[in-house]
Amino acid sequence: MTILGEGDHISLTVQHKTTLSYSAPVTCSHNELRMSPVDTGLQRVLNHNICVMPDTQIRMHRDHFGNNVAHFNLLEPHQRMEIIATSTVETTNAISCGPESAPDPRPYQQRWQEFLQWSPGVPELAEYSSINIPRMISMDMDDIEFGHGLYEMARYFFNTFRYDPDITHVHSSPKELFDHGGGVCQDMAHAMIGVLRQAGIPSRYVSGYIFDPAYGEVTGAHLRGAAATHAWVQAWHEGYGWMGVDPTNKKLVDWQYVRTAIGRDYFDVPPNRGIFCGPADQNVEVAVHIDLVP
């Protein structure tokens, strides 16, 4: 296990491979990808590349939340498409870099209004009130207390809800996590965001990857969600900025996390979104591999 001090840096390589196959040839495939990391106070992108087969021109733009979005079209008939996104990112062993936004005299309730309101993936639910964390969390806390509050909430989710990839799907509501007692990282992030927003804490959904040093070993505690895209939560503290927390793994974020996109919920940041023409069934296979840079 690699051990870093507070504020230390390390570099990680990420390969995200998506293979889409169709039961019959399709045409007019239009796609948006959110697989491209951005520079933040906690990470620096050293290099990044996206390769699509069949070959096509890829264009980039920034969306409303500042995410890098790649988009492309495949107009010729095809029965298989492969997308490989490769990145090398320098990460920081810290949960926050302080406020990232430019100075703004407005109160945080106005600056971060969209992260305080209910959204398609985080609807208003009575179940949020059922979560009693040992340490209540509020904007009146200093950064240390606030971080402890986030960790206690993450520990509650970890201990209360089982990680079960077979019980929910990508369009599930966080209500299904409460009803079934289990779900995946997307469900736990959505539910925790709901609890925080109900408490008046601006919170947002983060999509990316998590490096598991123990992944692939016979023994050791493995991080859940390390073999695919991962999701966690950032909560706003007025004096400390966006602070990251991972309820799926009972962790505050550190050097192991690579961020690709942020939004109100998953539906703002899917890694791949698109449409195609043709009477065909689609099958999607995803593989993520992360390594330390020697």
Residue 92 CB partners (closer than 8 Å, separation 6+)? 7, 8, 9, 41, 42, 43, 255
Confidence of residue 136 (pLDDT cuts 50, 70, 90): confident
**pLDDT value of position 132:** 67
Q: Which domains does the chain have, with CATH numbers?
A: 9-91+272-292 (2.60.40.2250), 94-268 (3.10.620.30)
Burial (0-12, 13-18, 19+ Cβ within 10 Å), 280: middle
**Residue predicted with more confidence, 83 or 132:** 83
Lookup: tokens for 261:
């996109």
Closest CA to 139 of 13, 46, 41, 237: 237
CB 290 within 8 A of CB 14: yes
Poorest-confidence range of 98-102, 226-230, 248-252?
A: 98-102
Q: Dihedral angle at the C-alpha atoms of 148, 150, 156, 157, nearest 10 degrees?
A: -150
pLDDT, averaged across the chain: 90
- Per cent of the chain over pLDDT 70 is 93
Q: Which residue has the tokens 């996109």?
A: 261
Among positive and negative, which fits the CA dihedral 111, 148, 129, 168?
A: positive
**pLDDT value of position 218:** 39
How many of the other CB atoms lie within 10 Å of CB of 224?
A: 19
The answer, as to whether pTM is greater than 0.85, is: yes
pLDDT digits (tens, 9 = 90+) for 166-220: 888 888 899 999 999 999 999 999 999 999 999 999 999 999 999 988 654 434 4
Helix (H) or strand (E) holding 146: helix 143-160
**pLDDT value of position 232:** 97
Confidence of residue 5 (pLDDT cuts 50, 70, 90): confident
CB 153 within 8 A of CB 131: yes
Instruction: Measure the CA–CA gap between 241 and 96, rounded to whole angstroms.
Output: 7
Lookup: tokens for 161:
């809800």
